[in-house]
Amino acid sequence: MNEIIDGKKFSQTLRTKVKSYVHIIKERYGVTPGLAVILVGEDPASQVYVRNKGKQSLEVGMNSYEYKLDASTSSDVLLSLIEKLNNDVNVHGILCQLPLPDHLNEKAVINSIDPKKDVDGFHISNVGLLNTGQKSMIPCTPLGCLLLLKDRLGDLSGKNAVIVGRSNIVGKPMANLLLQENCTVTIAHSRTENIETICAQADIIVAAVGRPEMIKREWVKPGATVIDVGINRVTKNIDGYEKTTLVGDVCFTDMAGLVAGLTPVPGGVGPMTIACLLANTVTACYRSQDLSDPEFT
Ligand code: GUN
């Protein structure tokens, strides 16, 4: 079987499903899912992300609302915009692009979003709901990883999963999702002792530490499935030239002939994140009309 887990192709299939759910709710209920994205400041990477989110929303037939605010925007102005969007029936999802400028309190801003419209799944209510196995908004990157894993492996029950990285955005929600799938879950991190031995026992590794090519061949059990969330820009000598290139947290070339499945960087988890954002927005829209959740698995 092909080792490569093609996230780009899978995300296209997911977007097609999203598009058909958008079509159904428009036709039957006269409601168009709408995603509002707020960008404060001019961070170049964030500008690219926000542009892609808007473009892909339109491509699946949703409405896209973009709010570009000056880097000096006050907390009051930002919070009143969020309140306005919370009360707008045409807006089903709200995303405030992170990081925010230093003078803004990220936690307060996120927690001011209506949890039902929190398509990032970062609101403390959604974190608590996911943690206790209740219906919530699920953070997009871990959701994307889970969809790829289920597609490749089917039932995950009883698998030994090791997550490398304990961030609120990926590591912790990923652990909760895999627990719900009846995996035995370990979260390893920068202070973990014998991390290599722990990883080498895993049926599933999710690497989300942001350390270029940290996970080497000796860390991985033959036949394991490896999901690489890392996107690291590094300088490499390629054919005698110094070039900047993207690598994951996993040493890709080390995995050849060893793993059952591996996501490449780029083209693995990355494309899944925006597709899951669109999926979450459609889910929020269906819930707003008291309809049952769309199915994306
Ligand atoms: N910045 C980088 N990734 C993300 C994300 O998934 N959501 C938000 N809101 N900001 C981000």
| Domain CATH code at residue 228 | 3.40.50.720
Based on the fold, state whether residues 148 and 39 are members of the same structural domain: no
Q: Is residue 289 assigned to a domain?
A: no
Q: Is residue 129 assigned to a domain?
A: no
Based on the fold, state whether residues 151 and 102 are members of the same structural domain: no
What values do phi and psi take at 200, rounded to 5?
-70, -10
Q: Is residue 107 assigned to a domain?
A: yes
70 is catalytic: no
Query: Is the CB of residue 260 below 6 angstroms from any atom belonging to ligand 1?
Result: no
Domain boundary among 77, 100, 115: 115
Cα of 119 vs centre of ligand 1, distance in Å, is 11
Q: Before 99, cis peptide (omega within 30)?
A: yes
Query: Is the CB of residue 96 below 6 angstroms from any atom belonging to ligand 1?
Result: yes
228 is catalytic: no
Domain count, the chain: 2
Q: In whole angstroms, what is the distance from residue 133 CA to residue 23 CA? A: 30
Domain boundary among 115, 149, 183: 115
* Per-residue model confidence (pLDDT) at position 29: 98
Which pTM was predicted?
0.97
Based on the fold, state whether residues 62 and 102 are members of the same structural domain: yes
- Give the helix/strand (H/E) hosting 280: helix 270-288
Based on the fold, state whether residues 183 and 62 are members of the same structural domain: no
Q: In whole angstroms, what is the distance from residue 30 CA to residue 127 CA? A: 31
- Residue in 35, 107, 169 to alter for ligand 1 test, most ligand atoms within 8 A of Cβ: 169
Cα of 84 vs centre of ligand 1, distance in Å, is 21
Average pLDDT over residues 102-129: 98
Q: Is residue 190 assigned to a domain?
A: yes
Based on the fold, state whether residues 147 and 266 are members of the same structural domain: yes
Average pLDDT over residues 71-96: 98
Confidence class of residue 2 from pLDDT cuts 50, 70 and 90? Answer: confident
53 is catalytic: yes
Based on the fold, state whether residues 148 and 105 are members of the same structural domain: no
Q: SS3 for 136?
A: coil
The number of the ligand 1 atom at minimal distance from the alpha carbon of 95 is: 9
Based on the fold, state whether residues 109 and 204 are members of the same structural domain: no
Query: Is the CB of residue 97 below 6 angstroms from any atom belonging to ligand 1?
Result: yes
* Per-residue model confidence (pLDDT) at position 158: 98
Average pLDDT over residues 200-216: 98
Q: Which amino acid is at 249?
A: D
Q: Is residue 132 assigned to a domain?
A: no
Confidence class of residue 170 from pLDDT cuts 50, 70 and 90? Answer: very high
Q: Is residue 101 assigned to a domain?
A: yes
Q: Is residue 257 assigned to a domain?
A: yes
Confidence class of residue 238 from pLDDT cuts 50, 70 and 90? Answer: confident
- Give the helix/strand (H/E) hosting 271: helix 270-288
Cα of 279 vs centre of ligand 1, distance in Å, is 15
Which domain does 61 fall in, by range? 28-115
Q: SS3 for 33?
A: coil
Average pLDDT over residues 157-171: 98
Q: In whole angstroms, what is the distance from residue 81 CA to residue 67 CA? A: 9
The share of the chain scoring above pLDDT 70, in percent, equals 100
Among 1-5, 11-15, 49-53, 280-284, the range scoring the smallest mean pLDDT is: 1-5
* Per-residue model confidence (pLDDT) at position 1: 52
Based on the fold, state whether residues 144 and 267 are members of the same structural domain: yes
Based on the fold, state whether residues 161 and 102 are members of the same structural domain: no
Which listed residue (118, 120, 228, 249) is catalytic?
120
Based on the fold, state whether residues 170 and 250 are members of the same structural domain: yes
Based on the fold, state whether residues 110 and 170 are members of the same structural domain: no
Q: Is residue 22 assigned to a domain?
A: no
Based on the fold, state whether residues 248 and 177 are members of the same structural domain: yes
Q: How many residues does the chain have?
A: 297
What's the CATH number where 45 sits?
3.40.50.10860
